[in-house]
Amino acid sequence: MPAVFVHVSDIHFGQEHDQTIHIHNDVKEQLIIDAAEVVAGLSSGVAQGIIVTGDIAQSGQWEQYIAAGAWLDTLAEEVGCPPHRVQMVPGNHDLDRSKLSVGGRQLLDYIRNGGDEEYEEVVGNAQDRATLLSRFEAYGRFCIGYNCGLHEEAKYAADLRIELAPNRAIRFVRMNSSLLCTGDERDDNPELMIGARQFTIPRRSGEENIVLVHHPLRWYKDAEEVSRYIKSRARVFISGHEHNPAVKVEEVETGCDLMTLAAGATVPFKSNETYTHTYNIIEFDWNPVQDALMVTIHPRAWNPKKTRFEPDEVRLGGRSPTYTLRSPNFRKLEQVSDGKGHRNAVTPSVEESMSKEPIVELVGAEVVEGQVSPAPPSLPGYELTLLRFFRDLLENERLRVLLELDAIAADSDERMTQGVERKLFEWLARQGKLPQLMVKIDELIAERARGKV
């Protein structure tokens, strides 16, 4: 069966004011109703997850992410996917610009006026990198709960793998295109960069990469280098930011295609003839005839007269377009001999693929060639507990849980970063303490609620 994802972008929680509060809230409620109906009518009847290509918040404030989390929970419930199954990347509105120091401005100017060497010089320095990442504090706390945490060394992240058929899988690759954002960037004079530490994504036999990023390719100063890697190592490139839906499939070399999908805005500042409320439902599937990745897009757009979402027959190729993308990494796994005259079928049969549901798993990401980071614990309840621990608890409450469950000593003076908290959380999980973690989370949330009464 296909893997189904609800794709939203540029939701901008927190931008509403005056009458738009009521209008935008209604649009978001109607999107949930519409998505549930569309997904229920597909062959699987449920979604495997949600994709968000940036600008979840309007100004990177924690209150905006609280609202976003509640909305995502409801959307996930209505389309039948686990609440933690969200793949997200940050947009330029997901950083808190008030946190930019004088030194931070100088670092940004240094990179934006320079190039590859200046970027790596700054981002390769742990202190300088921390200065730039500090603007993502609220976003970082939000996304880590969904297992989409910003890479501590500002590299790509690729730890969600979906097997569409035996030996045929897709892997989401997340990039942060907003690290250098100041609010003044333009696409006609690019100053943003992805950087080699992000765009050197892996290539694996039997897997095709789906790249998620906020800014389209032409917004980068290093666009030529980024494009070279995307075209040779990704099958789909999904972006947001421009609020103008578009899709293009190009043959990048013989037997190899790349789909570029630009999202519209789920909640633009206002809806008019040029920009309106849009979102997509995307099906990823294996084409056994061509041994290729098949992508079906169900584009949805707001009808202002009928005040509801409908099939978008204008953008993204019209009603439910299907694209078959020639996939060289799939074809690398052909039937091979075991050396005894027998053939080992690493190419699945049609019957095998039709009888199986997509397998979604967290896997270790390749951090440098040949080296893979440890996969998160494969334990029942791990992902949901992780989400609640980081998203639903305050910083002092998380520290209290770690102390009470003996993850850290009472006299410890180690600085508590999100990375350290994540490692301690995983240690507790591996010690079999997920049930105690969930109990503590419930207790602290109830205690906080009583204190507000």
Q: Each residue of 176-186: pLDDT tens digit?
A: 999 999 888 88
The pLDDT score that the predictor gives to residue 349 is: 64
- List, for residues 185-198, the tens digit of each pLDDT value: 888 888 899 999 99
> Poorest-confidence range of 25-39, 302-316, 390-404, 406-420?
406-420
- DSSP per position, 384-443: HHHHHHHHHS-HHHHHHHHHHTTSS-TT------HHHHHHHHHHHHHTT-HHHHHHHHHH
For residues 263, 264, 269, 273, the Cα torsion angle rounded to the nearest 10 degrees is 160
The pLDDT score that the predictor gives to residue 119 is: 94
Specify if 165 maps to a domain: yes
- List, for residues 17-71, the tens digit of each pLDDT value: 777 788 889 999 999 999 999 999 999 899 999 999 999 999 999 999 999 999 9
Q: Give the count of domains, the chain.
A: 2
Same domain for 223 and 368, yes or no, is yes
Same domain for 226 and 113, yes or no, is yes
Same domain for 340 and 432, yes or no, is no
Quote the pTM value.
Answer: 0.91
Among the candidates 351, 372, 393, a domain finishes at 372
Specify if 377 maps to a domain: no
Specify if 238 maps to a domain: yes
CATH value at residue 181:
3.60.21.10
Among the candidates 347, 372, 397, a domain finishes at 372
Same domain for 340 and 438, yes or no, is no
Whether residue 369 is predicted with pLDDT greater than 60 in this model: the reply is no
Record the tokens describing residue 222, joined without a space: 């290093």
Same domain for 323 and 238, yes or no, is yes
Whether residue 336 is predicted with pLDDT greater than 60 in this model: the reply is no
Same domain for 357 and 431, yes or no, is no
Same domain for 433 and 326, yes or no, is no
Question: What are the φ and ψ backbone dihedral angles of 104, each rounded to 5 degrees?
Answer: -65, -40
Q: Give me the domain span that covers residue 389.
A: 382-452
Same domain for 133 and 270, yes or no, is yes
Same domain for 336 and 231, yes or no, is yes
Same domain for 121 and 160, yes or no, is yes
For all residues of the chain together, what is the average pLDDT? 89
For β-strands 366-368 and 343-344, DSSP reports them as: unpaired
Same domain for 426 and 357, yes or no, is no
The pLDDT score that the predictor gives to residue 343 is: 45
Whether residue 348 is predicted with pLDDT greater than 80 in this model: the reply is no
Same domain for 299 and 400, yes or no, is no
Whether residue 341 is predicted with pLDDT greater than 90 in this model: the reply is no
Instruction: Give the confidence band of 328 by pLDDT, cuts at 50, 70, 90.
Output: very high
Record the tokens describing residue 375, joined without a space: 């996969």
